[in-house]
């Protein structure tokens, strides 16, 4: 299943509002999406208001699934995170991603991915989930590919087309195993995206399959 358009299904925003994202990579990408997309911010605010209303309507004698100690512990976790003395990040990096990179003492380091394409690996989860940046030059056609897992792609700068659907800054596309991409970068300027992938990309071209050994994607 592929979610077309700038917004994801409500379950993503519910998990983000509740602080229950499945991984650090998901949390960083969603925080960046909410920061860049007005529609995403509005949806998260709506869901937070609904959650607050439900709590207010709960019977006084009904136990809640969390305690005051739990809330204090969560607040403490957010306060004590140390920041490194890394230099300022590039101007396309949203604040949520910049804070993540500072916590980990990382900077964006671009590597060759293909003609007109560069990648910067940012994080790898315990299950092989990868958070990375893609930079593509104007007009580049990204090789046709599918997925052996899922992929979230958030546009940070510029835009790209997947078939007849255009994705612009703040927009996010979700793709699963049954979706194959025909992506091309808009002619107006370079495109930079933040991607979160589970499983490797799937290519039919044997040359591209061989090249995967070097890209790690």
pLDDT tens digits, residue range 131-157?
999 999 999 987 776 667 788 999 999
H helices, E strands: number in the chain: 6, 12
Mean pLDDT, rounded, of the chain? 78
Q: Which domain holds residue 5?
A: 1-217
Domain count, the chain: 1
Does the pLDDT at position 87 exceed 70?
no
Kind and range of the H or E run holding 167: strand 165-167
Which of residues 32 and 87 earns the better pLDDT score? 32
Q: pLDDT band at 204, cuts 50/70/90?
A: low
Q: Structure tokens of 56? A: 């207010």
Q: What angle do CA 137, 30, 3 make, to 5 degrees?
A: 70
Examine the pLDDT at 79 and tell me if it is beyond 70.
Answer: no
CATH of the domain at 44: 2.60.120.10
Is 204 or 189 the better-scoring residue by pLDDT? 189
Res 56 pLDDT > 50: no
Task: Assign 78 a pLDDT band (cuts: 50, 70, 90).
Answer: very low
- Write down the pTM of the prediction: 0.78
Give the phi and the psi of residue 117 in degrees, each rounded to 5.
-130, 140
Spatial distance between the Cα atoms of 11 and 165, rounded to a whole number of angstroms: 22
77: Cα within 13 Å, side-chain hemisphere: 7
């Amino acid at each position: 299943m592929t979610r077309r358009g700038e917004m994801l299904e409500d379950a993503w925003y519910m998990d983000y509002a509740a602080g229950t994202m499945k991984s650090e990579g998901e949390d960083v990408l969603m925080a960046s999406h909410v920061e860049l997309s007005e529609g995403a911010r509005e949806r998260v605010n709506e869901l937070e208001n609904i959650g607050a209303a439900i709590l207010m309507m709960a019977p006084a004698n009904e136990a809640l699934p969390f305690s005051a100690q739990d809330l204090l512990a969560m607040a403490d976790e957010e306060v004590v995170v140390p920041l490194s003395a890394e230099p300022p990040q590039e101007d396309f990096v949203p604040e949520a991603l910049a804070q993540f990179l500072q916590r980990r003492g990382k900077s964006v380091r671009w590597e060759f991915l293909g003609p007109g394409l560069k990648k910067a690996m940012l994080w790898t989860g315990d299950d092989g989930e990868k958070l990375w940046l893609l930079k593509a030059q104007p007009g580049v056609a990204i090789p046709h590919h599918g997925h052996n897992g899922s992929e979230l792609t958030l546009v940070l700068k510029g835009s790209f087309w997947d078939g007849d659907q255009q994705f612009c800054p703040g927009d996010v596309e979700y793709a699963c195993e049954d979706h194959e991409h025909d992506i091309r970068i808009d002619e107006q300027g370079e495109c930079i995206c933040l991607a979160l992938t589970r499983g490797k990309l799937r290519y039919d071209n044997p040359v591209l399959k061989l090249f995967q050994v070097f890209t790690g994607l």
